Amino acid sequence: MDPIQGKPSCLMGLRGKRDGSWLFVHQNQRNKGSGMAKRIQVVEKILSANDRLAKENQQRLDKAGVFGLNFMASPGAGKTSLIEHMIQRLSDQMELAVIDGDVATSIDADRAAAAGATAVQINTGGECHLDAVMLHGALDELDLESFDLLIVENVGNLICPMSFQLGTHRNILIASVPEGDDKPYKYPGMYRGVDALVINKIDLLPYVPFDMGYFRKGVEILNPGLITFPLSCRTGEGLEEWMNWIKDALREHSRTKEPSTEE
């Protein structure tokens, strides 16, 4: 984290990009100028440009009647495995699209496609999070009207993805037992901002030191009442509750957001 306002350090050195009216700051400017006050201003400008485009992304999803989820987690928590299960269990009831974000390779999008979903891979080329610009480009690759649910798999990282809203409707965090029970305490920003929490790999509870009470206490302090789904992608335990929540959330969302009524 950068000491300034607790913003992730990657925000301070975004690679330069100019896209219409969006101003992105070139890396070589990061140490120029008069110091702190200016740097704070720059960070806020990047974030508000991102938020504006995130809003536009959400309007596109709403117009097409697509419910969007942003899956965040550390690498190896099981985001892709959970997505595979969702494709297998939900595809007969809804049309699913997946957008995968990774530094390199199309391994995850290949897995989602093999499981039966339409999948688009974003390679960030080193960037440790997805942002609204990247999602905007990926949305162009999908015929949005033909989907009900969009799952965006963010880059595996517990720090900065939370700072970049994408325009999805729900932020989901996937934690996993082998990561350890101290993660809410060490990455509070991530736990604070999410709408639902999955605790994956509960089949490993007998084999690793993980105090569920301590973990949940940390979550409760940061995000009181957060809905939580302990499950195992390996044994299938808890998956049904998760799928039901997704189906309910999708139904509720389509009730409140009538498709094609946006101007």
The binding site for Mg ion (CB under 5 A) comprises: 79-80, 108
Amino acid at site 244: N
Nearer to Zn ion, 50 or 58 (CB): 50
Kind and range of the H or E element at 18?
strand 18-19
80 interacts with, out of Mg ion, Zn ion, none, CB within 5 to 8 A per kind: Mg ion
Residue 103 binds Zn ion (CB under 5 A): no
- Helices 79-90 and 239-256 cross at an angle (nearest 10°) of 70
Number of residues located near Zn ion, criterion CB under 5 A: 4
Nearer to Mg ion, 101 or 218 (CB): 101
Residue 10 binds Zn ion (CB under 5 A): yes
60 interacts with, out of Zn ion, Mg ion, none, CB within 5 to 8 A per kind: none
Distance CA 120, CA 141 (A): 7
Stretch that binds Zn ion, among 36-44, 51-59, 123-131, 193-201 (CB under 5 A): 123-131
CB of 161 to Zn ion, least distance (A): 7
Long-range Cβ pairs for the range 53-57 (8 Å, 24+): 53/22, 53/132, 53/133, 53/136, 53/167, 54/132, 54/135, 54/164, 54/165, 54/166, 54/167, 55/167, 56/132, 56/136, 56/167, 57/132, 57/135, 57/136, 57/139, 57/166, 57/167, 57/168
CB of 98 to Mg ion, least distance (A): 10
Q: Rounded to 10 degrees, what is the CA torsion of 156, 160, 163, 165? A: -20
128 interacts with, out of Mg ion, Zn ion, none, CB within 5 to 8 A per kind: Zn ion
Pattern 145-184, binding to Zn ion, x per CB under 5 A? ---------------x------------------------
Nearer to Mg ion, 25 or 98 (CB): 98
Nearer to Mg ion, 1 or 104 (CB): 104
Q: Are 106 and 117 in contact (CB under 8 A)?
A: no
Applying CB under 5 A, which of residues 129, 169, 183, 201 lies at the interface with Zn ion?
129
75 Cβ neighbours under 8 A, 6+ residues apart: 156, 157
Helix (H, G, I), strand (E, B) or coil at 235: coil
79 interacts with, out of Zn ion, Mg ion, none, CB within 5 to 8 A per kind: Mg ion
Kind and range of the H or E element at 150?
strand 149-153
CB of 129 to Zn ion, least distance (A): 4
CB of 8 to Zn ion, least distance (A): 6
Q: How far is CA 256 from the centre of its chain?
A: 22
Applying CB under 5 A, which of residues 4, 113, 128, 204 lies at the interface with Zn ion?
128
5 token code pair = 């306002």
Residue 12 binds Zn ion (CB under 5 A): no
Binding site for Zn ion (CB under 5 A): 10, 128-129, 160
